[in-house]
Chain A
Amino acid sequence: METYELLSAVLLAAGSFLLLSGGIGVLRFPDVYSRMHAAGITDTLGACLILLALMLLAGFSLVLLKLMMILAFLLITGPTSSHALGKAAWKAGVKPLTGKSLQR
């Protein structure tokens, strides 16, 4: 149906844009924690949007079930891995960039 395809195209475009902006954010942000902010949120949401778009295209079939399972798995593991990264950075002694260190 036309509306399904249009909606999934919009979702795909939104997901790709999120992933791209996440990548740019990782390159441009100044320290570890803000980079993780950029990467973690946008990666998880971008991947979920792309999966939703694929689910719309798949219709009611076995593929839909598999895509739903992948979505659930990503929703659980995405934020967890960001948390693990943050904890590792904190344990290693990396201090976040605060306003004081930016003022010269």
Chain B
Amino acid sequence: MLIATAIGIAVNRDLLSVVMLSSIYGLLSANFFVTMDAVDVAFTEAAVGAGISPLLMFTTMAIVGRYEKLPHRWSLSALVLVSITGALLLVATMDMPAFGAPDAPAQQHVAPRYIEQSGQEVGIPNIVTSVLATYRGFDTFGEVTVIFTAGVGVLSLLMVGDRATKPLSSHLLKASQHKILRIVSKVLIAPILLFALYVQFHGDYGPGGGFQSGVIFAAAIIVYTMLFGLDSARQVIDQAWVRVMAAVGVLLYGAVGVVSMVNGGNFLDYDVLAKDPLHGQHYGIIVIELGVGITVAAVMVLIYFSFAGRLVDRGHQDD
């Protein structure tokens, strides 16, 4: 089914259906991840690949144009190149271990240690969160910084120049005729925010954690923005505040590392944060997940605000 969806994306000229198909593709992959026992990954992929990603693509489409202009010509050289690469890769996979084999090299060495020892060393049930936050804390720090950098990049691309300060025609952004949608969204936004908080703090015990909750939080705010207009959304959540919050998340993460160093351990070594290592790990993990969630939510909201601020009145052109 994934292959059928991918081929559908390749062949379609209508960008609207391309984006919907890519959202379906994301959802199908999330399903696949669940069957592979990767629940955290499935959660994130569903939120990101089937939620935020198509949303941003739709916003881009509203600015860029709905149809692919040129007729689709199958490029022979590209097909040949792709087939040769594909054949080489297939030959390379002959040596790889069988699907699901318990004695594959990927399952030895490091993974059993995490599975067996994380219970005593870190003490939280979700092994993925403990690996993400403690054993591989540096990588997660880098990831938060990457998200922050992407937010800065989008801001620098889209919020400069005279386009940013021109006021937008209000009929584009208000949806005052959509009464049913407004009422339903008013009912739904509060539970969505609550769910985001639940996912944030429950990441230790089940699937969840900072990234997923940040994305869900941002989704609630984006729903509000879409239905009530960019101006009122900017009044509710001041844009300067959001930028500060994006930086605060990264700083929080780094601060935990510095506090660990001040207390005598290494950078991002949570054992020294409290009286005994287990509590120290718990505090450290909660604080950095909070930092991650704050940054992800703030950056997603910033990106959407920047995109929406560029909406142009295309009228009835159909390029």
Residues of chain A touching chain B, judged by Cβ–Cβ distance below 8 Å, are: 69, 73, 76-77, 80, 83-84, 87
Contacts and interface: CB of A to CB of B under 8 A. Distances in A.
16 contacts: A69-B191, A73-B188, A73-B191, A76-B184, A76-B187, A76-B188, A77-B184, A77-B188, A80-B180, A80-B181, A80-B184, A83-B180, A83-B181, A84-B178, A84-B181, A87-B178
Contacts of B181: 80, 83-84
Interface of B: 178, 180-181, 184, 187-188, 191
Nearest to A83: B180
A21 B253 CA distance: 51
B74 to A, nearest CB: 27
A83 B181 CA distance: 8
Contacts, number: 16
A77 B181 CA distance: 10
Nearest to B185: A80
Contacts of B191: 69, 73
A77 B184 CA distance: 8
A83 B179 CA distance: 11
Given A69-B191, A76-B184, A77-B188, 10 more contacts: A73-B188, A76-B187, A76-B188, A80-B180, A80-B181, A83-B180, A83-B181, A84-B178, A84-B181, A87-B178
Nearest to B187: A76
CB-based closest 5 A-B pairs: A80-B184, A83-B180, A84-B181, A76-B184, A76-B188
A83 B191 CA distance: 21
